[in-house]
Amino acid sequence: MSEIKQYKEPTNKIEKGLLYLQHYGVKKTLTKTIRKAMGHDQEHYSYRQFLKEHPTTEAELDKQRHTVFTNNPVISIVIPLYNTPERFLVELIQSFTAQTYPHWQLCLGDGSPKEGLKDIILKATGGQWDERIVYKKLEGNTGIAGNTNAAMELATGDFIGFTDHDDLITADAMFYIAKAINEDPTIEAIYSDEDKIDMDSKEYFLPHFKSDFNIDLLCSHNYITHLFVARADLVKESGGIKSEFDGAQDHDFDLRILEKCTNIYHIPRVLYHWRTHPASTADHPEAKMYAYENGRRAVEEHYKRIGVPAHVELDTHLGYYRTVYDWPDTPLLSIVIPNMNHCKDLQDCIDSIAGRNTYKNIEFIIVENNSTEARLKEYYHEVELSGPLNAKVVDYTAAHPETKGQFNFSKLVNFGVEHASGEYILLLNNDTRMINEDAIKEMMGFIRREDVGVVGARLYYGNNTVQHAGLILGLGGVANSQFLMSGREQVGYFYRSTCVQDLSAVTGACLLTKKSLWQEVGGFDEKLAVAFNDVDYCLKLRVKNKLCVYTPFSEWYHLESVSRGLDHQDPEKKARMDSETEYFMSKWKDVYEKGDPYYNPNLSLTKFDYSFGREE
Per-residue pLDDT of 153-188, as tens digits, reads: 999 999 999 999 889 999 999 999 999 999 999 999
Q: What is the pLDDT of residue 9?
A: 35
Backbone angles phi, psi at 305, to 5 degrees: -65, -35
CA distance 168 to 77: 12
The answer on pLDDT for 323 being more than 80 is yes
CA distance 147 to 224: 22
Ranges of CATH 3.90.550.10 domains, the chain: 56-306, 333-594
Helix, strand, or coil here: 254? helix
Hey, how many other C-beta atoms are within 10 angstroms of the C-beta on 43? 20
On average, the pLDDT of the chain sits at 89
Q: What is the pLDDT of residue 32?
A: 52
Determine the average pLDDT of the residues in 499-510.
97
Percent over 70 (pLDDT), the chain = 89
Question: What is the band of 316 on the pLDDT scale with cuts at 50, 70, 90?
Answer: confident
The matching CATH number, chosen from 1.10.10.60, 3.90.180.10, 3.40.50.970, 3.90.550.10, for 333-594 is 3.90.550.10
Q: What is the pLDDT of residue 5?
A: 37
- β-pairing verdict for 75-81 and 159-162: parallel
- Enumerate the β-bridge partners of residue 394: 367
Question: What is the band of 219 on the pLDDT scale with cuts at 50, 70, 90?
Answer: very high
> H-helix or E-strand containing 64?
helix 58-65
For the chain, the maximum distance between any two Cα atoms, rounded to a whole number of angstroms, is 91
pLDDT tens sequence across 271-288: 999 998 644 545 555 657
Question: What is the band of 313 on the pLDDT scale with cuts at 50, 70, 90?
Answer: very high
> Which CATH superfamily groups domain 56-306?
Spore Coat Polysaccharide Biosynthesis Protein SpsA; Chain A (3.90.550.10)
Determine the average pLDDT of the residues in 23-50.
53
- List the single range of 95-109, 129-143, 351-365, 478-492 with lowest mean pLDDT: 129-143
Helix, strand, or coil here: 606? coil
Determine the average pLDDT of the residues in 391-396.
96
pTM of the entire predicted model: 0.90
Query: Burial letters for 266-292: b for 16+ Cβ neighbours within 10 Å, e otherwise?
Result: bbbbbbbbbbbbbbbbbbbbeebeebb
Question: What is the band of 409 on the pLDDT scale with cuts at 50, 70, 90?
Answer: very high
CA distance 439 to 357: 8
CA distance 106 to 133: 5
3-state secondary structure string, 157-204? CCEEEECCCCCEECCCHHHHHHHHHHHCCCCCEEEEEEEEECCCCCCE
Backbone angles phi, psi at 492, to 5 degrees: 85, 180
Backbone angles phi, psi at 44, to 5 degrees: -65, -40
pLDDT tens sequence across 145-161: 899 999 999 999 999 99
Question: What is the band of 614 on the pLDDT scale with cuts at 50, 70, 90?
Answer: low
Q: What is the pLDDT of residue 3?
A: 40
Question: What is the band of 378 on the pLDDT scale with cuts at 50, 70, 90?
Answer: very high
All residues at 6 or more sequence positions from 235 whose CB lies less than 8 Å from its CB, including other chains: 152, 155, 160, 257
Determine the average pLDDT of the residues in 456-461.
97
CA distance 166 to 86: 10
